[in-house]
Structure formats: C-alpha cells, structure tokens
Amino acid sequence: MDMPKPGPEHAKLQRFVGSWIGDETLAASPWGPGGEATGRSHVRVALDGMSMLNDYEEEKDGKIVFRGHGVFGVDPQSGEALWWWFDSMGIPPLQPSRGKWDGDTLVFTNTSERGTGRYTYRFDGRDRYHFRIENKFPGQAEFSEFMHGDYRRA
C-alpha cells in the first residue's frame, strides 16, 4: 500500500509556514485584564507535509505571559482544515476545530459544552495575515471578540 500524500488542501495550509510577529489587542476576560501584546509564531511542515506545527508566544510588558502549540492538518474525508490547540492554560482540546477556506480567509469553528469559538485567519498577500478569536459562551446569543492581531513575516 502506498502512503497517502499531501494534497491541495495541505498546500493551502503551507501559507502559514515561517516565522511571524504581530501586534495584538486582547479584551478583558476571566483570563486577564486585556490590553496590548505582541504575538510570535513559528510554523513548520511536519510528517511528510501532512501537518503543520505552530509554536506561539505572547508577550506583554516585556514578559512571556502565554504559550501555545497548534497542529494543522486536513480531514481526509471532508477536506476540511483541522486545528488542534494546546496552551499554557492547560485545557486540552476536546476535538479539533474545523475550518473552511473562502479565498484568502480560513475560518475555524469549535463547539463544546464550554461554548463556541470562531477563529478567523485572513491573509493579505504572502507576508501578512490578520487573526481574530471570537467566543460565544453558553447562554450568549452573539459572538464577542476576545482578541485580534495583525501579523507579518519576521
């Protein structure tokens, strides 16, 4: 049997490969007071092109205050982008977020008993993207923005 090979959906995810830095704005939340931060990501190809691995740090007031590790992949049945996220808050993902591309925009969603998250990556050319996290917690009718950032290749 031949091993599966990366397809066009994997190639789309390779837009993330590289080092990125960006200005972030966080809303006040149960996790902190919000404010301005700097985010840094390094994304690399892994597992013969079947996954992309993302290492992330967030800096506020000259100190690293948050770290994360993401794994991007593709559902071989649906072709949807998949994203698992692990971070220094220690809450493991119950399942991957599922995403779909619309031109240069990739929108992931994830729903669990903790609520619904919507994560939007919008590429602006090859060397810049905008990212937004929106949450809708149980009992809320609308999404509220948790953070947004504007990133460029480092």
Q: What is the pLDDT of residue 33?
A: 87
Report, as an integer, the average pLDDT of 55-60: 97
User: What tens digit of pLDDT does each residue of 115-145 get?
Assistant: 999 999 999 999 999 999 999 999 999 999 9
Six-digit token pair at 18?
């590289």
User: What tens digit of pLDDT does each residue of 74-116 get?
Assistant: 999 999 999 999 999 998 888 999 999 999 999 999 998 889 9
Q: How many Å is the Cα radius of gyration of the chain?
A: 16
- Whole-Å CA distances, 60 to 4, 23, 37, 40, 119: 42, 11, 5, 12, 22
CATH superfamily of 8-153: Calycin beta-barrel core domain (2.40.128.20)
8 Å CB contact between 123 and 15: yes
Q: What is the pLDDT of residue 92?
A: 87
Six-digit token pair at 102?
């619309």
User: What tens digit of pLDDT does each residue of 27-45 get?
Assistant: 998 778 899 999 999 999 9
Q: What percent of the chain has pLDDT over 70?
A: 100
- Whole-Å CA distances, 104 to 26, 57, 125, 128: 24, 24, 8, 11
Q: Please provide the average confidence, as pLDDT, over all residues in the chain.
A: 95
Residues in the chain, how many? 154
8 Å CB contact between 57 and 64: yes
